[in-house]
Structure 1
Amino acid sequence: MRRPVGLVAMLCMLVWMASPTRVHAQEGIAGADPGVLSEGHRPFEPGAMTDEAIGETLLAGFSQITTLIEVEVTVGAGVVTLSGTAPRPRARARAEAIAWRLPGVLAVENLIEVPALVDAVGVAQDERTARDEAIQQQLRNIFGHVASLGDLGVVVEAGVVNLVGTVPDTEASRRAEELAAALDGVLYVDNQTMVVRGFGERLRPTLGRAVEFLEDSVLYLPLFLAALVVLAVFFLLAKLLMRLDFLYRRLAQKPLVQAIVRQLVGTLVMLIGLVLILEIFDITALVGAVLGTAGLAGLALGFAFRDIAENYLASLMLSMRRPFHHNDWIRIGEDDGKVVRLTTRETVLMTLDGNHVRIPNAIVFKSIIHNYTRNPRRRFEIEVGVGLGEDVLRAQTVGIDALRAMAEVMNEPPPFAWVEDLADSDVKVVFYGWVEQRAHDFLDVRAEAKRCLKLALDRAGVEMPEPTYRVKLRPAGEPKAIGIPDTSNPVSERGAPRRVDELDEQIEEARRSDEEDDLLE
């Protein structure tokens, strides 16, 4: 029965030696990262070397490796003790890996020492440790003075900062990482902080800031009261100065200009008060920034609202020049009507149909303006077609007498008429008369004059024919008749009434009353 038991034991030993766990353990030791290997042990293997053979083999092998020449080997009961020195941690780990490969080695005690070497950044290991501790202490001091970062833990190793703990929000986490990264000697920041989701924890920082704000408000309360007093004083002063009408009437006669100056004065007084308030709070440095921002904003707004600014300036110029007044009948371009009002953006007209026409002041300022009401005297004209066989002089006299008989038509300048055109079927006679617009409506007088002319010419038997065409047929070869003038109704030697040059007197009167410079003189 003993032989089968021995065979079973040998088979179990072979299976263990060939097992994947053992193979992986050996590979892990052979390829382990330097400086992280630790002591190990394994059971006894069949065919193992003696302690003396193990020691001689390791010393012979280490003597052939430059980095392991100073390593000493002691073997007892299958336990290999390595001592001495090695230049680098990798050489220390290599010596241990070589010892593990020999059969019969049950454990390896690695006592090889590695002298302190300068690391990659030129700082000795002990100096690096001291620097890590300094960084760690500095971050703890910084986080201790920040309410939202007081619960954070800091661990620094080889220039790598590990942040752990809880923060109220992501902004606090980002801020902690930025503070750590800003310190000298920090190579990397491992931010493992967690944002607190609880209601109470998230509300606590907000309440803290609210309490701080209330405390600051109490401290600044006297300054706030002083600022309110200054603001009230300058507000009342601005209102008082804006109500001094006599002052603005001396500066300008136009109501729009007065309103603009009044607003400028009020704004200037309020700006002075604002500067004093900033001086009370010792933040006058903001004035330069505000003025610079206002300049850039004004430039941008100038381009964006160019049309509005143009209309505003045009309204200012129109208000100063006053080319028309309320109820003046004017024509601007193709639009005509009576003036309703002039605003800072547009001129409002009302047409004869009762429609409102709004024309931008920039267009009004650039356009030709016909003012039919500026001169109180306005001339109307009425065209009448008289028959070719009628006495044109008699028709003119009848029409002029009819106009003179109208009380609304001015006697000075007197009405007159002249022949405008010799048409195919009639003679075009145009009658003219003047109306005093301040006493009578121009359109009503012109309409009544047309009616009176028609009635007077009908009573005088003056024919006003419609266009007719005479067609005369004659046989072929008949000689063409030569017209012989009819002298049975000779034209009076007195001739037609001549037009009075009344516009010259009115132009001279307008020049004398106008204060603007005449560039033609």
Structure 2
Amino acid sequence: MRSVLLLALLIALTITCITPNSAGAQDERVTVRLDGRAVFRVSAVENVDATARARQIERRMSRLLENPTAIAPPRIEATQNSDQQVITIAGVPVVTVTKADAQDNLTTVDTLATQWSGAIATALTRASQRRLSPSERFVAEVQSSVQTGFGRLGESAIAIIPRALAALLVIGLFWAIAALVRWLMRLIFRHIVEDLTVENLIKQVAYYVVWSLGFIVALDAFGFDPQAVATGLGLTGLALGFALKDILSNFISGILILVLRPFELGDQIVVGETEGNVERIELRATQLRTYDGRVVLVPNAELFTSRITNNTAAPIRRSSVTLFIGYDSDLQTAVTVMTEAAQATEAVLNDPPVSVRIRDLGQDDILVEVRFWTDSRRTDFVATTSAVRGAIVLAFKDAGIGLPDPDVRILMPRHPDKWRTALGLGDSDRTQDSDNASR
């Protein structure tokens, strides 16, 4: 189940990265770079996020550098909106300074426009000097791409690594809390609830509720809006339903098994070709231990929809032993001896009593079935059945009742050559016997 939670975390993070988060976008500022060097930082405005706005400003300054000798000093021009000013170069608008930018930088629009204008002039002057010749322009472009890439990587690392560490710390903390809650549940319910299946259900629900809370807090610590993640998951719920249908099916089947309880912990069940003892019932699969010591994990969806035989649903179970009795034996005496021998065997219950049934009348003998009841667990069931067989055989010997004896027997001599010599049979007789045998 932990792997399912990690998969859900990755999906949620991916969806959140793809789905625009307007609340988070307006809180972040992105650096505008020229030749890999930082010029200033901008925020999101109206319907344009900070990243798109920064890339637009960088493209405009790059176009100005296509003709470095014609670059004019930046100018600050007023607009019809008194809360905005535009920085232009040779009549081309480069960036619009808004009131939101001023508030993010804790200054006024006029002051911020002046600062950005000076930063743009310095950056363009430095960049134009590196592009006076074609070779210098090529080198400058390569260096600009490399420095810009590393600069953005460094910014991303500075922004993401602390959040990632915080999210991991939150996950680790809630993992410890979930483990502690499960331990406390086990300690408390061990003295309150005798039903292990109910105890297992409560422990798992409490454990994964704590994990879910930790997942939500970790998202928030990573910098994502849980509401936006929920919205993204809702929009892509159909795709996720098809992609995770097996996992969801096992999860829901596990809850239904724990609630409906077709079997409990410690029961011995048969599912298809698998038979064993139920050791654990988890939300993804049920763990069975076969009678030869192997561990089998059966998916809950398969377990819930399959035909299940619960051998220990009832505390007792009927077993039977079949044997043959010759026609020359006293049938009534044999039935009495079998009944008494089976009933006297240890672990055979007195109620219901032992019963004997004549199953078939064969050509040479009678097929008799002895039925008795014992504990339903396999260890007692198999051991008791074996003990009943042995008790019946001993009782027959003590009562002088013989088991069926075939009328026709084939005896083979141990030294056939010596017998042939003693009987005067030669090689020709041996060859004739072989021919007859082959025919």
1:461 to 376, 400, 417: 400
8 Å CA contact 2:268, 2:277 repeated in 1: yes
Give the CA deviation at 1:199. 4.5
Question: What corresponds to 1:161 in structure 2?
Answer: none
1:245-394 alignment runs, 5 A limit: 253-268=198-213, 270-272=215-217, 274-275=219-220, 278=223, 287-288=227-228, 290-394=229-333
- Give the Cα–Cα distance (whole angstroms) in 1 for the partners of residues 63 and 319 of structure 2: 92
Aligned residue for 1:390, secondary structure, equals coil
- Aligned partner of residue 441 in structure 1, secondary structure: helix
Name the amino acid aligned to 1:259: Q
Which amino acid is 2:66 matched to?
Answer: L
Residues 152/340 of structure 1: CA separation in 2 closer, same or farther (3 Å cut): same
1:175-194 pair list within 5 angstroms: none
Find the partner of 1:450 among 360, 376, 389: 389
CA distance in 2, matches of 1:397, 1:216: 90
Q: CA deviation at 1:237?
A: 7.1
Equivalent pair of 2:288/2:295 in contact (CA under 8 Å): yes
Are 2:360 and 1:421 aligned? yes
C-alpha spacing 1:326/1:429, structure 2 compared with 1 (3 Å) = same
Alpha-carbon distance change, 455 to 316 in structure 1, aligned in 2, over 3 angstroms: same
> Which whole-Å deviations, capped at 9, do the CAs of 1:362-420 have from their partners, x for residues lacking one?
22212232222233322220012222233222111001111233223223333221222
- State the shift of 1:312 in Å: 2.3
Inter-CA distance 433–206: structure 2 relative to 1 (3 Å threshold): same
1:450 Cα deviation from its structure 2 partner: 0.7
Instruction: Could you tell me which runs of 5 or more consecutive residues in structure 2 were left unpaired when the two chains were aligned.
Output: 1-55, 70-91, 94-132, 409-439
Q: Label 1:208 to 1:239 Cα distance change in 2 as closer, same or farther (>3 A).
A: same
Equivalent position amino acid for 1:321 in 2: L
- Matched-pair contact (CA < 8 Å) for 1:383–1:428: yes
Cα contact 1:242–1:263 (8 A) shared by 2? no
Equivalence for 1:149: 63
Structure 2 CA distance for aligned equivalents of residues 341 and 247 of structure 1: 16
CA contact 2:325–2:404 (8 Å) conserved in 1: yes
Match of 1:447, SS state, is: helix
Partner Cα separation in structure 1 for residue 303 and residue 270 of structure 2: 10
The separation in 1 between residues aligned to 2:286 and 2:155, in whole angstroms, is: 57
- Are 1:435 and 1:445, in contact at CA under 8 Å, matched by a contact in 2? yes
Q: CA deviation at 1:266?
A: 3.5
Taking structure 1 as reference, are residues 150 and 334 closer, same or farther at Cα in structure 2, changes over 3 Å only?
A: same
Is the 8 Å Cα contact of residues 357 and 368 (structure 2) preserved in structure 1?
yes
Tell me what 2:143 maps to: 203
Q: Is the 8 A contact 2:268 2:377 kept in 1?
A: no
Would you say 1:434 and 2:379 are equivalent positions?
Answer: no
Query: C-alpha separation between the residues in 2 aligned to 1:144 and 1:330?
Result: 69
Distance 1:335 1:144 in 2: 66
Larger Rg belongs to: 1
Partner amino acid for 1:454? V
Q: Which residue of 2 aligns with 1:98?
A: none
Q: Which residue matches 1:190?
A: none
Which residue is equivalent to 2:336?
397
Q: 1:263 to 1:154 in 2, by over 3 A?
A: same
Query: Secondary structure at the residue paired with 1:414?
Result: coil
Q: For the residues of structure 2 that align with 1:215 and 1:361, how far apart are their CA atoms? A: 46
Can you give the 5+ residue segments of structure 1 that lack an aligned partner in the other structure?
A: 1-141, 156-178, 181-192, 470-521
CA RMSD of aligned residues (A): 4.8
| AA in 1 matched with 2:212 | T
CA contact (8 A) 2:285 2:297 kept: yes
Percent of aligned positions with the same letter in both sequences? 28
Please tell me whether the aligned partners of residues 174 and 210 of structure 2 are also in contact (alpha carbons under 8 angstroms): no
Report deviation, 1:431.
0.9
Post-superposition offset of 1:432: 1.8
- Cα distance, 1:295–1:196 mapped onto 2, change above 3 Å: farther
Give the superposition deviation at 1:229: 8.0
Q: 1:433 to 1:151 in 2, by over 3 A?
A: same
| C-alpha distance in structure 1 between counterparts of 2:167 and 2:302, whole Å | 45
1:147 and 1:412 map into 2 onto residues whose CA distance is 97
Q: Distance in 2 between matches of 1:215 and 1:303?
A: 37
Taking the aligned partners of 2:221 and 2:290, their CA distance within structure 1 comes to 53
| 1:227 Cα offset (Å) | 11
2:351 to 409, 412, 421: 412
* Deviations, residues 240-296 of structure 1 (Å, cap 9, x unaligned): 477445689799934245324432333235425644875xxxx86x953x4343234
Residue deviations 1:443-471, cap 9 Å, x none? 112112111112212332334326779xx
For 1:201 and 1:408, locate their aligned partners in 2 and report how far apart those are by CA, in whole Å.
Answer: 91
1:318 positional shift: 1.9
Task: Assess, with a 3 A threshold, how the Cα gap between structure 1 residues 466 and 353 changes in structure 2: closer, same or farther.
Answer: farther
Kept in 2, the 8 Å contact 1:399–1:453? The answer is yes
Mapped contact 1:373–1:437 kept (Cα < 8 A): yes
Q: Tell me, what secondary structure is at the counterpart of 1:253?
A: helix
- Cα 1:154/1:287, change in 2 over 3 Å: farther
Partner SS state of residue 356, structure 2 = strand
Secondary structure in 1 matching 2:320: strand
Higher relative contact order (CA 8 A, sep 6+): 2
Q: Cα 1:359–1:466, aligned 2, differ >3 Å: closer, same or farther?
A: farther
